[in-house]
Amino acid sequence: MIMEDLFVKKQNMKNLYWMTVMFITLVISSCSSEQSLQEYYIANAENPNFMSFDLPSSLLNLDQAELSAAEKEAASSVKKLNILAFPKKPENEADYLVQKNTIKSILKGSDYSELMKMNTPYGKATLQLKEDGDTIDEVIIYGDNDEKGLVLVRVLGDDMNPASFVKLIQAMEKSNFDGKGLEELGDLIKS
Protein backbone atom coordinates (compact mmCIF):
# COMPACT_ATOMS: atom_id res chain seq x y z
CA MET A 1 0.00 0.00 0.00
CA ILE A 2 2.77 2.43 0.87
CA MET A 3 4.57 1.57 -2.36
CA GLU A 4 1.42 2.23 -4.37
CA ASP A 5 0.97 5.61 -2.64
CA LEU A 6 4.58 6.56 -3.41
CA PHE A 7 4.15 5.46 -7.01
CA VAL A 8 0.95 7.56 -7.41
CA LYS A 9 2.62 10.60 -5.81
CA LYS A 10 5.62 10.21 -8.11
CA GLN A 11 3.33 10.02 -11.16
CA ASN A 12 1.41 13.09 -9.98
CA MET A 13 4.68 14.99 -9.53
CA LYS A 14 5.79 14.01 -13.05
CA ASN A 15 2.44 15.13 -14.45
CA LEU A 16 2.66 18.41 -12.55
CA TYR A 17 6.22 18.94 -13.79
CA TRP A 18 5.25 18.42 -17.45
CA MET A 19 2.14 20.57 -17.14
CA THR A 20 4.30 23.35 -15.66
CA VAL A 21 6.86 23.03 -18.46
CA MET A 22 4.10 23.16 -21.09
CA PHE A 23 2.48 26.19 -19.42
CA ILE A 24 5.80 28.09 -19.26
CA THR A 25 6.52 27.23 -22.91
CA LEU A 26 3.09 28.46 -23.94
CA VAL A 27 3.51 31.72 -22.01
CA ILE A 28 6.96 32.36 -23.46
CA SER A 29 5.87 31.62 -27.03
CA SER A 30 2.81 33.86 -26.75
CA CYS A 31 4.89 36.70 -25.32
CA SER A 32 7.42 36.49 -28.12
CA SER A 33 4.85 36.57 -30.92
CA GLU A 34 5.09 39.65 -33.09
CA GLN A 35 2.59 42.42 -32.55
CA SER A 36 0.75 43.48 -35.69
CA LEU A 37 0.47 47.11 -36.65
CA GLN A 38 -3.28 46.98 -36.11
CA GLU A 39 -2.76 45.60 -32.59
CA TYR A 40 -0.24 48.38 -31.98
CA TYR A 41 -2.78 51.02 -33.07
CA ILE A 42 -5.47 49.59 -30.82
CA ALA A 43 -3.10 49.30 -27.85
CA ASN A 44 -1.93 52.91 -28.16
CA ALA A 45 -5.07 54.74 -29.31
CA GLU A 46 -5.91 55.51 -25.66
CA ASN A 47 -2.29 56.23 -24.63
CA PRO A 48 -2.22 59.88 -23.46
CA ASN A 49 1.11 60.45 -25.25
CA PHE A 50 -0.52 59.72 -28.62
CA MET A 51 -2.99 61.61 -30.78
CA SER A 52 -5.19 59.21 -32.73
CA PHE A 53 -7.30 60.01 -35.81
CA ASP A 54 -9.43 57.79 -38.04
CA LEU A 55 -10.27 59.72 -41.17
CA PRO A 56 -12.60 58.63 -43.96
CA SER A 57 -11.27 59.04 -47.48
CA SER A 58 -14.12 61.49 -48.15
CA LEU A 59 -12.21 64.05 -46.06
CA LEU A 60 -9.64 64.25 -48.86
CA ASN A 61 -12.29 65.79 -51.18
CA LEU A 62 -11.25 63.51 -54.03
CA ASP A 63 -14.84 63.21 -55.28
CA GLN A 64 -14.92 66.95 -56.04
CA ALA A 65 -11.65 67.09 -57.98
CA GLU A 66 -11.47 66.75 -61.75
CA LEU A 67 -9.99 63.29 -62.02
CA SER A 68 -9.31 60.91 -64.88
CA ALA A 69 -11.05 57.54 -64.87
CA ALA A 70 -7.88 55.83 -63.57
CA GLU A 71 -7.52 58.41 -60.79
CA LYS A 72 -11.19 57.95 -59.82
CA GLU A 73 -10.69 54.20 -59.66
CA ALA A 74 -7.61 54.66 -57.48
CA ALA A 75 -9.44 57.11 -55.21
CA SER A 76 -12.39 54.76 -54.79
CA SER A 77 -10.07 51.99 -53.59
CA VAL A 78 -9.06 54.02 -50.50
CA LYS A 79 -11.46 53.64 -47.58
CA LYS A 80 -9.83 55.42 -44.63
CA LEU A 81 -6.67 56.66 -43.01
CA ASN A 82 -5.59 55.74 -39.50
CA ILE A 83 -3.21 58.29 -38.02
CA LEU A 84 -1.27 57.86 -34.80
CA ALA A 85 1.02 60.74 -33.76
CA PHE A 86 3.34 61.01 -30.77
CA PRO A 87 4.37 64.61 -29.98
CA LYS A 88 7.68 64.39 -28.12
CA LYS A 89 8.05 66.32 -24.87
CA PRO A 90 10.82 66.27 -22.25
CA GLU A 91 8.61 64.26 -19.86
CA ASN A 92 7.85 61.47 -22.40
CA GLU A 93 11.28 61.05 -23.99
CA ALA A 94 11.80 57.50 -22.66
CA ASP A 95 8.36 56.42 -23.93
CA TYR A 96 9.08 58.08 -27.30
CA LEU A 97 12.21 55.94 -27.75
CA VAL A 98 10.30 52.78 -26.80
CA GLN A 99 7.47 53.56 -29.23
CA LYS A 100 9.87 54.47 -32.04
CA ASN A 101 11.77 51.18 -31.65
CA THR A 102 8.54 49.17 -31.39
CA ILE A 103 7.13 50.64 -34.62
CA LYS A 104 10.39 50.11 -36.49
CA SER A 105 10.49 46.51 -35.27
CA ILE A 106 6.93 45.88 -36.50
CA LEU A 107 7.67 47.45 -39.89
CA LYS A 108 10.79 45.30 -40.32
CA GLY A 109 8.55 42.22 -40.13
CA SER A 110 7.94 40.04 -43.14
CA ASP A 111 4.46 41.50 -43.72
CA TYR A 112 5.80 44.84 -44.99
CA SER A 113 8.00 45.79 -47.91
CA GLU A 114 9.72 49.15 -48.00
CA LEU A 115 8.92 51.20 -51.07
CA MET A 116 11.06 54.25 -50.33
CA LYS A 117 12.92 56.24 -47.69
CA MET A 118 12.73 60.00 -47.53
CA ASN A 119 14.57 62.77 -45.72
CA THR A 120 12.18 65.68 -45.36
CA PRO A 121 12.45 69.05 -43.61
CA TYR A 122 10.30 67.49 -40.87
CA GLY A 123 12.43 64.36 -40.36
CA LYS A 124 13.04 60.89 -41.76
CA ALA A 125 10.17 58.95 -43.31
CA THR A 126 9.48 55.64 -44.97
CA LEU A 127 6.73 54.44 -47.26
CA GLN A 128 5.89 50.76 -46.88
CA LEU A 129 3.35 48.38 -48.35
CA LYS A 130 1.54 45.36 -47.02
CA GLU A 131 0.64 43.30 -50.06
CA ASP A 132 -1.58 40.34 -50.75
CA GLY A 133 -0.58 39.04 -54.17
CA ASP A 134 -1.26 41.73 -56.78
CA THR A 135 -3.14 44.05 -54.43
CA ILE A 136 -2.08 46.27 -51.55
CA ASP A 137 -3.81 45.72 -48.22
CA GLU A 138 -2.43 48.89 -46.69
CA VAL A 139 0.12 51.61 -47.26
CA ILE A 140 2.16 52.72 -44.26
CA ILE A 141 3.75 56.12 -43.98
CA TYR A 142 6.03 56.40 -40.95
CA GLY A 143 8.09 59.42 -39.98
CA ASP A 144 10.05 60.45 -36.94
CA ASN A 145 11.99 63.43 -35.74
CA ASP A 146 13.89 63.14 -32.46
CA GLU A 147 12.96 66.71 -31.54
CA LYS A 148 9.27 66.70 -32.58
CA GLY A 149 7.98 63.13 -32.31
CA LEU A 150 6.65 60.52 -34.70
CA VAL A 151 3.72 59.99 -37.04
CA LEU A 152 2.32 56.69 -38.31
CA VAL A 153 -0.30 56.70 -41.08
CA ARG A 154 -2.11 53.62 -42.35
CA VAL A 155 -3.90 54.06 -45.69
CA LEU A 156 -6.50 51.28 -45.85
CA GLY A 157 -8.48 50.28 -48.89
CA ASP A 158 -9.83 47.59 -51.17
CA ASP A 159 -7.86 46.17 -54.11
CA MET A 160 -5.27 48.94 -54.14
CA ASN A 161 -2.32 48.30 -56.42
CA PRO A 162 1.06 50.07 -56.74
CA ALA A 163 0.13 51.76 -60.03
CA SER A 164 -3.13 53.06 -58.62
CA PHE A 165 -1.35 54.34 -55.54
CA VAL A 166 0.74 56.66 -57.74
CA LYS A 167 -2.51 57.80 -59.39
CA LEU A 168 -3.99 58.36 -55.93
CA ILE A 169 -1.16 60.72 -55.05
CA GLN A 170 -1.78 62.58 -58.31
CA ALA A 171 -5.50 62.76 -57.47
CA MET A 172 -4.73 64.15 -54.01
CA GLU A 173 -2.69 66.90 -55.65
CA LYS A 174 -5.77 67.84 -57.71
CA SER A 175 -8.18 67.81 -54.76
CA ASN A 176 -8.89 70.84 -52.64
CA PHE A 177 -7.93 69.07 -49.43
CA ASP A 178 -7.33 71.86 -46.91
CA GLY A 179 -6.37 69.75 -43.93
CA LYS A 180 -9.55 70.25 -41.92
CA GLY A 181 -9.57 67.76 -39.09
CA LEU A 182 -5.79 67.54 -39.02
CA GLU A 183 -5.00 70.78 -37.20
CA GLU A 184 -3.44 69.01 -34.20
CA LEU A 185 -1.28 66.87 -36.49
CA GLY A 186 -0.20 69.98 -38.40
CA ASP A 187 0.77 71.64 -35.13
CA LEU A 188 2.93 68.62 -34.28
CA ILE A 189 4.74 68.81 -37.62
CA LYS A 190 5.23 72.59 -37.45
CA SER A 191 6.45 72.72 -33.83
Q: Convert the pLDDT of each residue in 134-170 to its tens digit.
A: 777 788 889 999 999 999 988 887 777 666 666 666 5
Domain count, the chain: 2
pLDDT at position 90 = 92
pLDDT at position 152 = 92
CA distances (Å), origin 191, targets 25, 37, 55, 122, 138: 47, 26, 22, 10, 28
pLDDT at position 157 = 77
Query: What is the total residue count of the chain?
Result: 191
Are residues 101 and 163 part of one domain?
Answer: yes
Give dist(CA 158, CA 95) in Å, integer.
34
Are residues 73 and 52 part of one domain?
Answer: yes
Give dist(CA 73, CA 132) in Å, integer.
19
Are residues 43 and 123 part of one domain?
Answer: yes
Are residues 61 and 5 part of one domain?
Answer: no
pLDDT at position 119 = 84
Counting as low any pLDDT under 70, the low residues of the chain are: 1, 3, 5-34, 57-65, 67, 74-75, 161-191
Helices (H) and strands (E) in the chain — how many of each? 6, 6
Are residues 171 and 150 part of one domain?
Answer: yes
Domain assignment of residue 98, given as a range: 37-190
pLDDT at position 70 = 72
Residues 6+ apart with CB under 8 A from 112: 106, 128, 129, 130, 140
Are residues 75 and 168 part of one domain?
Answer: yes
Compute the half-sphere exposure of residue 43: CA atoms within 13 Å on the CB side of its CA.
Answer: 9
Are residues 80 and 27 part of one domain?
Answer: no
Are residues 113 and 138 part of one domain?
Answer: yes
Single-letter residue type at 68 = S
pLDDT at position 20 = 62
pTM over 0.85: no
Are residues 116 and 66 part of one domain?
Answer: yes
